Amino acid sequence: MVQARGIAKIHQDQAWLGKQVNSLTAKHEKHRTNSWAVSDAPRPYIESQLRGIIGIEIKIDAIEGKWKVSQNRNEADRQGVAKGLAHESPAMAEHVKNYDNTKI
C-alpha cells in the first residue's frame, strides 16, 4: 500500500488538459502497430471531449508505504492467495507463501 499526501489543484484549462491527454495517449499507443494520436480526431471533437475533463494535479508532499502480503491472514488463506498469484506474479506468490508473521 502506498499513500501520498499533498495539495490537489484543479485544472480546467484546455491547453493544460490537452497536453496531459496527448502525453497519455502517446505513452499508451506507442507500442501498437496502428497507433493513434489525439490529433487524428477532428479538432471540434477534441475540444468537446476536453470540456468534459477536470484535471487534478497533486504536488506530493509526503509518501509512505506499507508491505502487505496477507500477513494478517491464517496459513490456509495465505496459501490460497499464493496459489491465485502463482500464474500472474510468481515472485509475489512466493512472498505471500513464505511470509511468517511470527518473525516480526
More confident residue, 1 or 16: 16
d(CA 104, CA 99): 10
Percent of the chain exceeding pLDDT 70 equals: 95
pLDDT band of residue 92 (cuts 50, 70, 90) is confident
| CB atoms near residue 55 (< 10 Å) | 15
d(CA 82, CA 12): 44
d(CA 35, CA 26): 8
How confident is the model at residue 77, as a pLDDT? 87
How confident is the model at residue 8, as a pLDDT? 95
| CB atoms near residue 47 (< 10 Å) | 12
How do the domains of the chain map onto residue ranges? Answer: 2-65, 69-104
d(CA 73, CA 6): 32
pLDDT at 103 over 60: no
Whole-structure pTM over 0.85, yes or no? no
Residues 13-56: tens digit of each pLDDT: 999 999 999 999 999 999 999 999 999 999 999 999 999 999 99
Contacts of 18 (CB under 8 A, 6+ apart): 38, 46, 50
- 8's grid cell: 490537489
